[in-house]
Structure 1
Amino acid sequence: MLSFLWTLGSFIVALGILVAVHEWGHFWVARRCGVKVQRFSIGFGKALWSRTDNKGTEYVIAAIPLGGYVKMLDERVDEVAEEDLPFAFNRQPVLKKIAIIAAGPLVNFIFAVFALYLMFLIGVPTSKPMLGEVTDDSIVSLAGIEANSIITRVGERETLNWEEVNLELMSYIGQASIPVTWKAPDSYRERTTVLDTSEWHFEPDTSSAIASLGFNMYRPEILPILGQVLENSAADLLGLQVGDKILRLDGTSMQNWVQIVGYVSQRPHQAISVDVERKGQEVKLTGTIGQRDVNGVKQGFMGFTPTLDKWPDDVLFNYQYGLFDSVAKAIDKTWRLMTLSVEMLGKLISGDVSVKNLSGPIAIAQGAGMSASSGLVYFLSFLALISVNLGIINLLPLPVLDGGHLLYYFIELFSGRPVSESVQEIGFKIGGVILLLLMSIAIVNDITRL
C-alpha cells in the first residue's frame, strides 16, 4: 500500500510540474501578445484552490490531476464585450496565434534542458558500459565482442554509460546493421565492429535493446558473505553476523547466493543448520527459518543480505559537469531525446516498432515512482524525458493537439484566409478518435504489463 501511495504521489507531482510548465508557456506568450487569459488551471473538475490576479486571470488547482488548460478570451467560445474584443485570441494576427500555441511544446523542451542541467550539475553515480557475460550464439557473440569489454560508441554517438548505449541501440531498430566501437579488456585501443541485425528481433515491452542483442551488463559477483543482518530477524536469532561466509545449509554445500536464496525461500518455518566461516574458523548454528508473504505465497525469509565483489578500477564514476559545461551537455542530451522520439514515432508508423510498445499513464506513474525512489537526479532525468515526449506528442498534426492548431494556422498564414470552421470541426473529430484510440491501446498495454 505504501509503495502504491508513493507511486501515485510521485506521478501527481511529476504530471503537475510538466502540465504547469506546458500551460505556462501558452499563458506567458498569450499575455505578451496582448491576449486576455481568463483561467490558468492545473487539473480538471472542481477547484480545490483558486486565486484571481489584478488582470482578471483566475489561477486554479483542480481535483482531477490529469492535465490542465489555459482559457483565453475567445468569441468562438463565449460572448465578448465590445471593449474586450482587441484582447480576444481569435482577433489576433496569425503569427501571434502561432507563437501562443507553439509556446507550450517549446517550454517543454526548455524545461528538459533545465532539468538535465541540474542533473549534470549535481552529478549522477553511474558505471561505464562494461559487458558481463556475452550470450552464446547471440548477435554480439557472433560479432566477436568479448566479455568485460567497454562500449565507447554506437554509430557516431559517444556512449558513457548503459543508458546512452540503450538509447542509441534503439535508434537502429529496423536497420540491418549497427556499428559499435569497443575496447577489449586491459586495452586502450578501440575497435569498431558492425553488428549484423538483419535477424534482430526486439520487443521493447519484454526486454531491453541491450539484452536482445546478447549484451549483459557487468555486475560484480554476489558473494555468499553477509553484508547485513536485520535486527530480530531469523538470521539474527540464529546468531549469524555481518562478515559470515555461508558454507552449508543443512549439510548441503552452497556455491553461490542464488542457491542460498532458493534453498531458504522454499522452507518457511522449517528448522535449519547453517555452517559459516567466521574469522577463519568454521561455526555451526541452528535455528528456524522465518517467513514472509510474497503476492500471497508464503516464502522462507532469513533477513540477511549479501556483499558484492569489488568493481574493476575506473568503471564507476560520477557523471558530472561544471557550471557552464552542464549547459552544453544538457542541450545536447535534450536534442538527442527529441530526435530519438521523432525516430521512434517514425518506426511506429512504418511498423518497425509495434503499437504493443506504446505506454500510457500507468507506465508513466511506475516510472515516476521508481525514479523518485532512486533519488533527485534520477527524478530530474525522468522529468526531462517525459517533458520532451510531451512536447513532441503535442506537435503531432492532430487537430485536438497543439500541432493540429499550428497546422491550421500555417495554412492560414500561407493561403491568406483561415480554415473554415466546418473543416476544423471535422478535423477535431477525426483527431479526437485517433487520439482516443492511441490512448486506449497504451492503457491496455499498461494493464497487460502489470
Structure 2
Amino acid sequence: MFDFFWNLGSFILALGILVTVHEYGHFWVARKAGVKVLRFSIGFGKPLLKWHDKQGTEYVIAAIPLGGYVKMLDERVDEVPESERHLSFNAKSVQARIAIVAAGPMANFIFAIFALAAMYMVGVQSIKPVVGSVNEGSRAAQAGITAKQQIVKIGDDEITTWQDATFSLMASLGDSRVAVTVRDEQYQEQVKTINIDGWKLDQQDVPPLASLGIVPFRPNATLEVAAITANSAAAEADLRVGDTIIKVGDETISSWQQLVNLIQQSANKSLQFSVKRQDSIEQLIVTPKARNTADGQQQGFLGVAPVVEQWPQGYIETRHYGPLDSIVLGIQETWRLISLSFDMIGNLITGQVSVKNLSGPVGIAVGAGTSVSYGFVAFLSFLALISVNLGVFNLLPLPVLDGGHLMYYIIELFRKKPVSEKTQEFGFKVGALLLIFLTCFALFNDVSRL
C-alpha cells in the first residue's frame, strides 16, 4: 500500500511539473503573439485552487492531475466582442498560430536540456559497462563477446555507461550488423561484429542487451537476507534480516540464483528452509506465494532481497561537469533522446519493436516512484526522459494533439486558406479514437506487468 501511494504521489509530482512546462510554452508564446489567454489550467475537472492576474487570465489547479490546457480567446469557440477580435487566436497569422502550438513540445525539450544540465552539474554516478556473462548460443556469444570485457564503443558511439550501450543498440535496430569494440582486462581492444539481421524487440520488458545475450556485470548476491517485503511469504514464515539460507529441503543452496530458480518453481508449495541465525540453525516452513508472469504463467515469489558483495574498485564513478559543459551535454543528450524517440515510433510502425513495450500512466507512475526513491539525480533523469517523450508524442500528426494542429496550419500555409471545418472535425474524431485506443492498449500492457 505504501508503494502505491509513493508511486501515485511521485506520478502526480512528475506529471504536474511536465504539464506545467508544456502548457507554459503555449501560454508564453500566445502572450507574446498578442493572444488573450482566458485560462491556464493544470489538471481537469473541479477546480481546487484558482486566481486571476492583472490581464484577466484565470489560473486553475484542478482535481484530476492527468494533463492541462491553455484556453485562448477564439472566435471559433466563443463569441468575441468586436473590440477584442484582434486578441483572438484565430485572428493571428498562420505563422503565429504555428509558433503558439509548437511552443508546448519545444518547452518540453528545453526543460529536458536544463534538467539534464542540472543532473550533470550535481554529479552523475555511472557503472562501467563490463560484461558479467554472455548467454550461450546468443548473438553476442556468436560474435565472440565474453565475460569481463568492457564495452567501449558501439558503431561510432563512445560508450561509458550501460545507458549509452542501450541507446546505441536501439538506434541500430533495422541494421544487419553492429560493430562493438570491447576492452579486455589487459586493456587490449578488439572489434566484435554482432549479427543483428532480423533482430527485434518483440518480447515484453526484455531490454536490448538481454535480447542479444549480454548480461551486465553485477557483484554476487550472497545468501544472507538484507530485506524482507511486508506481508510476503518470507515475512509470514518468520524469515529475518541477517538470516543466511543454507538448505531448502534436502538441497544445499550454493548461490542466490539457485534459490531464485527453486522458489519460482514452487508457487504455493510448502518448503522447509534451513537458515543460519546468529550461532544456531533454524528450521522454517516457507510457502512461496504465486504471481503471474507476462506470459500468463504462475511463478513463486518469496519477498526477500540478498546482501550483495561490494563493487570492485573503479567500477562506479561519479562525474561532475561545469555549467557550460553541462548545458552542452544536456543539449546533446536531449537531441539523442528526441532522435531515439522518433526512431522507436518508426520501429513500432515497422514491427521492429513490439507494441507490448508501450507503457501508459501506470508504467510512468512506477518509473516516477522508483526514480524518486533513488534520489534527486535519478528523478531529474526520469523527468528529462518523460519530458522528451511528451514533446515527441505531442508532435505526432494526430488532430487532437499539437502535431495535428501543426499539420493543419502547415497545410494552410501552403494552400493560402484554412482546412475546412468539416475535414478538421472528422480528423479530430479519428484522432480521438486512435488516442483512446493507444491509451487503453498501454494501460493493458501496464496492468499485465503488475
TM-score band, normalised by the shorter chain?
0.7 to 0.9
Contact 1:399/1:428, CA 8 A, preserved across alignment: yes
Contact 1:239/1:285, CA 8 A, preserved across alignment: no
Which residue of structure 1 aligns with residue 160 of structure 2? 160
Which residue of structure 2 aligns with residue 332 of structure 1? 332
Contact 2:357/2:445, CA 8 A, preserved across alignment: yes
Is it true that 1:114 corresponds to 2:114 in the alignment?
yes
Provide the aligned C-alpha RMSD in A.
3.3
Which residue of structure 2 aligns with residue 191 of structure 1? 190
Q: CA deviation at 1:390?
A: 0.9
**1:141–1:409 CA distance, 2 compared to 1 (3 A):** same
Whole-angstrom CA distance in 1 between matches of 2:431 and 2:12? 27
Which residue of structure 2 aligns with residue 9 of structure 1? 9
Contact 2:111/2:387, CA 8 A, preserved across alignment: yes
Contact 2:43/2:66, CA 8 A, preserved across alignment: yes
Contact 1:274/1:286, CA 8 A, preserved across alignment: yes
Unaligned runs of 5+ in 1: none
Whole-angstrom CA distance in 1 between matches of 2:399 and 2:239? 68
Q: CA deviation at 1:5?
A: 0.8
Contact 2:201/2:354, CA 8 A, preserved across alignment: no
**1:437–1:139 CA distance, 2 compared to 1 (3 A):** same
Alignment of 1:15-414 (within 5 A): 15-184=15-184, 186-224=185-223, 253-258=252-257, 283-286=279-282, 306-414=306-414
**1:433–1:245 CA distance, 2 compared to 1 (3 A):** closer
Name whichever of 408-417 and 103-112 sits farther off: 408-417
SS in 1 for 2:372: helix
Whole-angstrom CA distance in 1 between matches of 2:316 and 2:176? 33
Q: CA deviation at 1:342?
A: 0.6
Q: What is the count of residue pairs matched by the alignment? A: 437
**1:42–1:274 CA distance, 2 compared to 1 (3 A):** closer
Name whichever of 385-394 and 218-227 sits farther off: 218-227
Amino acid at match of 2:168: E
Q: CA deviation at 1:52?
A: 0.6
Q: CA deviation at 1:268?
A: 11
SS in 1 for 2:214: coil
Could you give the per-residue CA deviations for residues 295-351 of structure 1, whole angstroms, max 9, x where no partner exists?
799x998x9965433323321111432222111111111000000011111112222
Whole-angstrom CA distance in 1 between matches of 2:30 and 2:228? 60
Contact 1:289/1:300, CA 8 A, preserved across alignment: no
Could you give the per-residue CA deviations for residues 30-54 of structure 1, whole angstroms, max 9, x where no partner exists?
1111110000000111111000111
Whole-angstrom CA distance in 1 between matches of 2:323 and 2:410? 39
Name whichever of 352-361 and 85-94 sits farther off: 352-361
Q: CA deviation at 1:435?
A: 2.1
SS in 2 for 1:216: strand
Which residue of structure 1 aligns with residue 295 of structure 2? none
Amino acid at match of 2:393: I
Whole-angstrom CA distance in 1 between matches of 2:373 and 2:404? 37
Contact 2:220/2:309, CA 8 A, preserved across alignment: yes
Contact 2:263/2:288, CA 8 A, preserved across alignment: no
Whole-angstrom CA distance in 2 between matches of 1:55 and 1:102? 23
Name whichever of 328-337 and 417-426 sits farther off: 417-426
Could you give the per-residue CA deviations for residues 215-239 of structure 1, whole angstroms, max 9, x where no partner exists?
0010111234576899xxx99xx99
Larger radius of gyration between Structure 1 and Structure 2: 1
**1:377–1:354 CA distance, 2 compared to 1 (3 A):** same
**1:250–1:341 CA distance, 2 compared to 1 (3 A):** closer
Which residue of structure 1 aligns with residue 446 of structure 2? 446
